[in-house]
Amino acid sequence: MNMNVIPLKKNLSFLQYQAIIKFLNDIGVEVADSGTDPYADILTQEDIEAIMLSREQIQKGLGIKNEDVFNEIEEKRRRSWK
């Protein structure tokens, strides 16, 4: 198997890692499984499924902006302090 390695100057975040893997797959570059997932001990399968579901919901327009949530919380606070 022919293998190429790209040294990185800094560590990738989980989102950066996923984006790069997706990009490489999209352009037809097959990425071999290293056998060790550096994020395996951080996210459970349930966490990953919840994230994927959330992304699907956002793409369908079912998400709520952070700003809207914070505004609603602030409004509820104001009402309860009266």
pLDDT in tens, 20-40: 989 998 999 888 776 666 666
**pLDDT confidence band for 5 (50 / 70 / 90):** confident
Residue 72 or residue 42, greater confidence: 72
Question: What is the signed CA dihedral for 5, 10, 13, 14, rounded to 10 degrees?
Answer: 20
Task: Kindly state whether residue 37 falls inside one of the protein's structural domains.
Answer: no
Nearest by Cα to 39 from 12, 65, 68, 19? 12
Please state the pTM of the whole predicted model. 0.38
Work out how many domains the chain is built from and give that number. 1
- Domain-embedded: residue 16: no
Q: Does a structural domain hold residue 82?
A: yes
Task: Inform me whether the pLDDT recorded for 1 exceeds 60.
Answer: no
Domain of 48 in residue numbering reads as 42-82
Amino acid at 10: K
Residue 12 in any domain: the answer is: no
